[in-house]
Amino acid sequence: MTTSSRFLPHAERLVWLGFMLFLLITTMIYIYRGFGLERDVSAANQEVLALQMRLASLTAEQVLEPARLGLTQGQIRHLQRLGLNDPRVRLVEDLAGQPELIRHAAVHGGRMHFVPDETHVLSDRWVLAVFEDGHIRGRMLLEYEVAFGNITWQVLASSLD
């Protein structure tokens, strides 16, 4: 029996022992990383829950379903029968041509006017409009009536921002 054959069983055992030790260390690393990830996920879940609770407390007083604004199809047809082909556009244009409805004085040489892009037709009776002179701004709630294509306006409330 040669020297190399005598050490062969010991070398084979050492290789197996090394392989088993490698598997054990690898398994321990994965287990350790798994516990770390589990802690991270748990902390993230707790943070999400805390944020959801805060959001719920902040929105507890809010209306669940907002009011519908704008003209319904029926209201559009009604206003068309009264003489307004494109009711929203005609209402905004007509209001823009009536700056005398703005009862607030302009400042620094400006001229009060309605801002068409910020004029909202709320219904077949009311419009919420923003006005400004380049220096100050305000809002106005107006009621309108349509007869034979003519629009009459009445200011219900007005305030500066």
pLDDT of amino acid 63: 64
Choose among 56, 31, 160: nearest CA to 103.
Answer: 160
Band of pLDDT at residue 3, cut at 50, 70 and 90: low
What residue segments make up the domains of the chain, in order of their start? 1-62, 73-160
Q: Which residues pair with 151 in a beta bridge?
A: 146
- Residue 157, SS3? strand
Q: Which residues pair with 146 in a beta bridge?
A: 151
Tokens of 4: 């190399």
Tokens of 62: 């809010």
DSSP string computed for 36-47:
HHHHHHHHHHHH
Q: Which tens digits make up the pLDDT trace of 50-92?
A: 888 888 887 777 766 666 778 999 999 999 999 999 999 999 9
Around Cβ 139, how many Cβ atoms within 10 Å? 14
